[in-house]
């Protein structure tokens, strides 16, 4: 074959191969001279829509920053996508955000199952993710483009167990949990802490999602003599469990995971005696909701979110505040990345963040190339004998005392 024909054939083959290759987002996808396009992925429909305040918290902060003029001359443009907390729907939604909407990054995504399902796609395309999902496997070991700005199940599980064992005499502990990865992400680290600190897991029982009774689980726990329970349950099932603990007269304290909103859970149980001094959760914040430094964020929520995005009644709840650090760190990274941000410079900017106070969380944010989980220290929250919310460092020790 003549050389020029051979070269033509080679070039034609290369062109065909190039067009056959999957589209790969470039390092400035979603960035224009005036905008930064963010994908906000979350469960906006279905039974898990109770978690959507975790998406609206950071969105409120982005709107607040836009009202101040944006970052380095750019304002944020958000594309919302619904996962319904379903892996298949989440994958489809993430594909649309990346390949059709062409977002720079994906934010939020509180459902661990969905986050793990889209992780291979994010890894392949290099699309940044900054999130709230509890599963520590998302960012540990570190993944170049994925960052946790809130607590994973490891920190939360340790906090659950350490608070329970700070009560004098507590060594016998029970587990009640869903069988999914989310629940194991909390309860497995709790078990590690319990065993490392001289405690004993006396019973481990499963309560599946959609359960309408916890009788079997509660009777097992009662028979075991457990002094505390690690409740790695979503809110609906946790409410049922706490009611049945009271019904059957089990006096063990219960530590709930962060798949439930504390105020909503205590309200929905409907019996003050079932929760006062008996139900606690790890607490992510440096003050009570809407008070002290958190007053600023309360005002941001009620100013920049629509009526449909705020609670149907009452004040913004725990999940709004828990979500907002994803927006705060995202903005800080864009500030540090300068006037010409790329994926690489934005990711390097996050890794440069050290001892950064979000104004929200109990701990300051610190990242590095070897650590993509920004926070560790947590408190605990519960109701005292008068039904007042109290933030604790340990059993009987209030924050601020």
Q: Which residues pair with 368 in a beta bridge?
A: 371
Measuring CA to CA, how many Å separate 183 from each of 104, 133, 190, 205? Answer: 31, 12, 11, 12
Sheet arrangement for strand 35-42: 75-82, 35-42, 105-108, 129-131, 146-148
In this structure, the number of other CB atoms found within 10 A of the CB of residue 87 comes to 16
SS3 208: coil
Q: Which residue has the tokens 């070991």?
A: 141
**Any idea which fold 35-151+291-351 has?**
Rossmann fold (3.40.50)
Q: Which residues pair with 82 in a beta bridge?
A: 42
SS3 338: coil
What's the CA gap between 224 and 8, in Å, rounded? 78
Task: Please answer whether residues 157 and 137 qualify as being in contact, where contact means their C-beta atoms are separated by less than 8 angstroms.
Answer: no
pLDDT at 25: 53
SS3 364: coil
Task: Please answer whether residues 112 and 185 qualify as being in contact, where contact means their C-beta atoms are separated by less than 8 angstroms.
Answer: yes
Measuring CA to CA, how many Å separate 333 from each of 36, 71, 129, 151, 347? Answer: 13, 10, 13, 19, 8
Domains 35-151+291-351 and 154-283+379-398 share a fold: yes
DSSP states of 99-159: IIS--SEEEE---HHHHHHHHHHHHHHT--EEE----GGGTSS--TTEEESS--HHHHHHH
Which tokens belong to 239? Answer: 């409410």
- Quote the Cα angle for 202-378-283, to 5°: 85
Delimit the domains of the chain by residue range: 35-151+291-351, 154-283+379-398
Which tokens belong to 122? Answer: 């994010």
Closest C-alpha to 104, from 133, 125, 84, 134: 125
| Stated pTM of the model | 0.84
pLDDT tens digit at each of 401 positions of the chain: 443 434 334 333 333 333 333 334 589 999 999 999 999 999 999 989 989 999 999 999 999 999 999 999 999 999 999 999 999 999 999 999 999 999 999 998 899 899 999 999 999 999 999 999 988 999 999 999 999 999 999 999 999 999 999 999 999 999 999 999 889 989 999 999 999 999 999 999 999 999 999 999 999 999 999 999 999 999 999 999 999 999 999 999 999 999 898 999 999 999 999 999 999 999 999 999 999 999 999 999 999 999 999 999 999 999 999 999 999 999 999 999 999 999 999 999 999 999 999 999 999 999 999 999 999 999 999 999 899 999 999 999 998 75
Q: What are phi and psi for residue 386, nearest 5 degrees?
A: -95, 5
Say which residues have a Cβ less than 8 Å from residue 20's Cβ, sequence separation at least 6: none
Q: What are phi and psi for residue 247, nearest 5 degrees?
A: -60, -40
DSSP states of 152-173: -HHHHHHHHHHHHHTSTT--EE
Task: Please answer whether residues 48 and 85 qualify as being in contact, where contact means their C-beta atoms are separated by less than 8 angstroms.
Answer: yes
What's the CA gap between 325 and 364, in Å, rounded? 11
Considering the four listed CATH numbers 3.30.413.10, 3.90.870.10, 3.40.190.10, 3.40.50.2300, the one that applies to the domain covering 154-283+379-398 is 3.40.50.2300
């Amino acid at each position: 074959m003549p050389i020029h024909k051979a070269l033509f054939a080679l070039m034609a083959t290369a062109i065909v191969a190039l067009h056959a290759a999957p589209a790969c987002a470039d390092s400035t996808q979603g960035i224009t001279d005036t905008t930064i396009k963010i994908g906000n992925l979350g469960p906006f429909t279905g039974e898990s829509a109770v978690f959507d305040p975790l998406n609206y918290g950071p969105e409120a902060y982005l709107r607040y920053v836009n009202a101040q003029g944006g970052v380095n001359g750019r304002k944020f443009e958000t594309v919302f996508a619904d996962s319904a907390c379903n892996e298949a729907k989440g994958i489809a939604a993430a594909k649309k955000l990346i390949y059709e909407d062409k977002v720079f990054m994906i934010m939020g995504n509180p459902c661990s199952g969905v986050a793990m399902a889209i992780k291979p796609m994010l890894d392949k395309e290099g699309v940044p993710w900054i999130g709230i999902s509890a599963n520590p496997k998302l960012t540990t070991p570190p993944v170049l483009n994925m960052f946790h700005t809130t607590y994973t199940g490891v920190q939360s599980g340790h906090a659950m167990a350490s608070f329970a064992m700070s009560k004098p005499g507590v060594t016998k502990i029970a587990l009640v949990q869903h069988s999914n990865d989310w629940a194991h992400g909390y309860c497995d680290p709790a078990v590690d802490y319990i065993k490392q600190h001289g405690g004993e897991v006396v019973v481990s029982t499963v309560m599946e999602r959609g359960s309408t009774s916890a009788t079997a689980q509660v009777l097992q726990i009662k028979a075991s003599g457990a002094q505390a329970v690690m409740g790695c349950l979503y809110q609906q099932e946790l409410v049922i469990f706490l009611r049945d603990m009271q019904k059957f007269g089990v006096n063990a304290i219960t530590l709930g995971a962060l798949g439930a909103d504390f105020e909503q859970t205590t309200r929905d149980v409907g019996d003050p005696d079932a929760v006062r001094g008996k139900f606690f959760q790890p607490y992510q914040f440096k003050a009570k909701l809407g008070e002290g430094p958190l007053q600023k964020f309360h005002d941001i929520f009620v100013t920049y979110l629509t009526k449909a995005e705020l609670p149907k009644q009452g004040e913004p709840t725990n999940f709004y505040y828990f979500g907002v650090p994803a927006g705060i760190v995202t903005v800080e990274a864009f500030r540090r990345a300068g006037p010409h941000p790329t994926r690489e410079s934005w990711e390097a900017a996050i890794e440069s963040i050290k001892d950064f106070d979000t104004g929200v969380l109990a701990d300051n944010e610190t990242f590095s190339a070897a650590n993509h989980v920004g926070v560790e220290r947590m408190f605990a929250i519960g109701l005292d004998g008068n039904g007042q919310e109290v933030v604790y460092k340990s059993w009987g020790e209030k924050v601020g005392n």
